[in-house]
Amino acid sequence: MKTTIKLLAIIAGGSIILASCKKSSDDMTTVAATVYYQQQDQMGRPAINTVFVNAAAKDSFNTTMPSAMSGKYTSKFKTQLLALNPGYTTNLLTLTADQFTGVLVTDVLTATTSNTTPTTFYDGTNVLTGRALADDVIDVELTLIFGGPTGASNPALTSDHVGGNDKTFLTSFPYLASPW
């Protein structure tokens, strides 16, 4: 008798478990569709895209692979550089218009992996080895475009006159201070 009761208890318990696992068509979950994302913007170096690519070419530039940018946009970048600064000869980095255009046209942010070279946009010695939070990227770019061989030409055009960050950066991740 005890064996029969145990057997009935096992069968009843198993039935309850199986019944609870069984799903009706109302319970079926829908499998989510695969979503594909498409790159819509290039911003390796801030303001380069904004300054050197006209509105009609923005979508094309923003979806061009960096390896193809030079072939498609070098002449347009050089034309824009010389339109912005018709007296351009070389810049603070001693780059001619052709050389500087070659640096700018591939809109990627290079970065150093060296332990001895600091990550910086420009610190007077190291150039375009990345970008630190405190780097004044816009002033560097304006100086390279308008500052001439010494960086001192056209002083009214070599700064956006925006000082440093209004809050101190944190020393650990996420590094940015709270906005308020």
Mean pLDDT of 18-29: 55
Q: What is the mean pLDDT of the chain?
A: 83
Q: What is the pLDDT of residue 138?
A: 92
Q: Is the pLDDT of residue 31 over 90?
A: no
C-alpha distances (whole Å) from 49 to each of 135, 142, 176 are 19, 14, 25
**Global pTM value:** 0.72
- Alpha-helical (H) ranges within 22-96 are 48-52, 58-62, 66-84
What's the CA gap between 108 and 92, in Å, rounded? 20
Q: What pLDDT was estimated at residue 12?
A: 55
Cis amide leading into 174 (omega within 30): yes
pLDDT at 58 over 80: yes
Once rounded to an integer, what is the mean pLDDT over residues 118-141?
A: 85
| pLDDT score recorded for residue 2 | 60
Q: What is the mean pLDDT of residues 14-38?
A: 64
The pLDDT value recorded for residue 35 is 83
Residue 96 bridge partners (DSSP): 90
